[in-house]
Structure 1
């Protein structure tokens, strides 16, 4: 059904494209596709003005799509043979397009232009590299950290941040009680995975060909999480909410620890005056494990103007425009000079935010929950569908892991 729908939309898109090209035949054009950022339109117009200084003969069409619509739109454009030239892609979705041969390898451009290559935080490009090629470059970035409610910690007699999974669970229990829970996390895009990695559990084997998580350590971890959820030590919104729900729960002041993205903390802080450097401590999760959430820029391989497309990306990731991005959204850009200035500039006015952003910088040695695989989406859906009921006490943890293993291996075996 979905395939028929996509093909139908693609056919319509071909017709629209033909009309568009006919109307704009006097001038070449590239298309820029962004992911749910309509509020940034004035800044993007600034990029385009800078682009026209170098390419006065090429127009830029900007299209923005909601996250729920982005992949479908891009897929239909690929099917029509008219994909946007420059694409803003979230997470590991790029791996699917790279594996399908739909993306341009940016390695030659990075080698040719040292200023372009060297502007990025050391190790950052690894997020978008596979098979010796670089498929994307950074636009903006956040990752999971652990946020501690110091008022609840003091009330529970807890003097320091947990350094192991067992300490985390023990502290969560101490801080729970009527109307209060000790720990909260978010469950989409593997953001909860540090809880498993703390105990040495990996999602897949090294060549990402089969499940690696069905181990005694995983069963022990899942059982502990389910028991803590049942007792109230872990807020069950961790496993049922999405974004607003867990952020709102932490903003209430009744959660002891929150493991999520820096953007989640900033969202909660905008709703709760108590969240500041006096009442919240920010640390890495035990073991230093973290899961990224990032957006990067890539170029569709079918672009008729790949050099111009890369020039637009160079403008978007320049010090000038990334300074605007960083200050507008208080987020890292993985442009090393821009991020360094951002953290320093806000230190006096917002010490908590400055510390969060400082810790947010990626240490690639402790990344987890990030699969550079074309089948990442399938694996994520198969695993979560089997594990969520166990976390909520609805199924046996061992049975859930067995089911998840079978489903994930089946997903990996499909072409």
Structure 2
């Protein structure tokens, strides 16, 4: 079975042997390829962008390819190995950082230096999520971070007036809304560090500021992990928090018998489609205590092996400028990381769809409190070292201190290799 680790190693080898040719912007015929991550539902929109882009650039051809998440890595790796990587790519989460670390992406820093206005169009904190070793490798395409959704009728039944203000209140509120196996008080997504705000709000740091040493194996972290495990055992925290991925936790919240969901903004559209109970009167939206949130955004980058890097840069700028970004924001009801576009979009949503407005405005607030977004060049390996041990404790298979000690040893090895 091909693993993500294998894909990244192969990508590194391919990138190391790829030479960027001098841009041939004056050629009569030029072609670039645009590879996206599971956005085929926007076929009409993206094909319209390509048509407009080509119409003002005679002789230019843009080929669009879309791959589902599980297929994206193998396809990109194959193209890197062949020396024909897609020119512009759209990745999710920290994958772009891993490609940057392996040498597969073009450094955009010199381009930003020449065109400061382009860099300034993006929210600085979201843009910073793709800075690796001081260099910019991607720009925002569309952005998300976690927030807290809560079931107002369940809160009212438990005599709870509003969202929790700290970690202990999360657990206490969850316990008050729990009734055996019939209902749980809290559920969270767990992939890509999305659960990390639960630790961050308790002052737990994963690593030292230089990202070189572990910092999480502390009495406080053990206390937090033990509390989460005990809450899970009592069903105050639904076990799907630690075993599901996307469909399972969002579907469980949509069923209407879980009090709180910690997830990023796209979850709203999923569980709203699952739960007839979801209305502006019954769904609450809030930040997690301390305003902590983990981003899981989609970025755009240019392959270092692009044969037309200047044209690829023109296309990247084109699809993130105000015109195209506005279309994406309106059609998909999301925020793009283009500051001007997002401000205008939210102003319109406040009138047209107040519930979506409440959800999306959290994505632009407190962006300085984003956590779980360490700039690791080997993020997948770090997660593989840390998460299984912590998951074992959360599910009662191992005590908290032992789990953290084992995670510490495994993760320290990966940091040393990095």
Whether the TM-score (by the shorter chain) exceeds 0.5 is yes
Please say if residues 252 and 258 of structure 2, whose CA atoms lie closer than 8 Å, have aligned partners that are also in contact: yes
Matched, 1:208 2:211: yes
Shift of 1:271: 2.0
User: What pairs with 1:274-353 in structure 2 (closer than 5 Å)?
Assistant: 274-353=277-356
Aligned position for 2:70: 68
> Structure 1: how far apart are the matches of 2:410 and 2:169?
32
Deviates more, 1:310-319 or 1:363-372: 363-372
- Return the match for 2:266 from 250, 263, 267: 263
CA–CA separation in structure 1 for the residues paired with 2:121 and 2:415: 36
Report Cα offsets for 1:144-198 as digits up to 9, x if no partner. Answer: 0011211111111112321111111111111111411111101111111111111
Secondary structure, aligned partner of 2:345: helix
What residue ranges of structure 1 are gaps of 5+ in the alignment? Answer: 14-24
TM-score (norm 1): 0.91
Q: Is the 8 A contact 1:82 1:302 kept in 2?
A: yes
- 1:129 corresponds in structure 2 to 131
CA–CA distance in structure 2, aligned partners of residues 348 and 72 of structure 1: 43
The residue that corresponds to 2:224 in the other structure is 221
Find 2:176's aligned residue among 174, 177, 180: 174
For 1:18, the equivalent position in structure 2 comes to none
Query: C-alpha separation between the residues in 1 aligned to 2:412 and 2:343?
Result: 43
> Cα gap change, 1:116/1:54 in structure 2, threshold over 3 Å: closer, same or farther?
farther
Q: Secondary structure at the match of 1:60?
A: strand
Find the counterpart in structure 1 of residue 17 from structure 2. none
Contact kept in structure 2, 1:38 and 1:64, CA below 8 Å: yes
Post-superposition Cα deviations, 1:310-331, rounded to whole Å, max 9, x if no partner, equal 1111111122211121112111
2:381 to 378, 382, 385: 378
Residue equivalent to 2:257: 254
Match of residue 46, structure 1, among 48, 67, 81: 48
CA distance in structure 1 between the aligned counterparts of 2:208 and 2:281, rounded to whole angstroms? 42
Q: What is the rounded CA distance, in whole Å, between the counterparts of 1:409 and 1:264 in structure 2? A: 33
Greater CA deviation, 213-222 or 108-117? Answer: 108-117
TM-score of the aligned structures, taking structure 2 as reference length: 0.91
* Aligned twin of 2:24: none
Alignment-derived partner of residue 101 in structure 1: 103
1:379 and 1:137 map into 2 onto residues whose CA distance is 24
Kindly provide the CA deviation profile for residues 312-360 of structure 1, in whole angstroms up to 9, marking residues without a partner as x: 1111112221112111211110111221222122223432211111111
1:34 aligns with 2:24: no
Q: Give the SS at the match of 1:293.
A: coil
Counterpart in 1 of 2:19? none
Match of 1:396 among 391, 395, 399: 399
Give the one of 342, 356, 366 matched to 1:363. Answer: 366
Match for residue 82 of structure 2 among 59, 80, 83:
80
The SS at the match of 1:64 is: strand
Pick closer, same or farther for the CA change 1:160–1:26 going to 2, 3 Å: closer
| 1:326 counterpart SS class | helix
Asked whether the 8 Å contact 2:101–2:132 carries over to 1, the reply is no
Deviation sequence 1:288-320 (CA, Å, 0-9, x none): 110001011111112121110011111111222
For 1:157, the equivalent position in structure 2 comes to 159
CA distance in 1, matches of 2:225, 2:394: 7
Deviation at 1:114, TM superposition (A): 4.0
Task: Report if aligned partners of 1:55, 1:308 keep a CA contact under 8 Å in 2.
Answer: no
Match of 1:408 among 399, 404, 411: 411
* Conserved 8 A contact 2:291-2:369: yes
User: Deviations for 1:2-36, whole angstroms, at most 9, x for unmatched residues?
Assistant: 49x979x99xx9xxxxxxxxxxx984321111111
RMSD: 2.2
Residue 194 of structure 2 is aligned to residue 191 of structure 1: yes
**Secondary structure of the structure 1 residue equivalent to 2:297:** strand
SS at match of 1:281: strand
Moved more, 345-354 or 379-388: 345-354
Gaps of 5+ in 2: 15-26
389 and 131 in structure 1: CA distance in 2 versus 1, 3 angstrom threshold: closer
Q: Deviations over 1:19-55 (max 9, x none)?
A: xxxxxx9843211111111222222212211221343
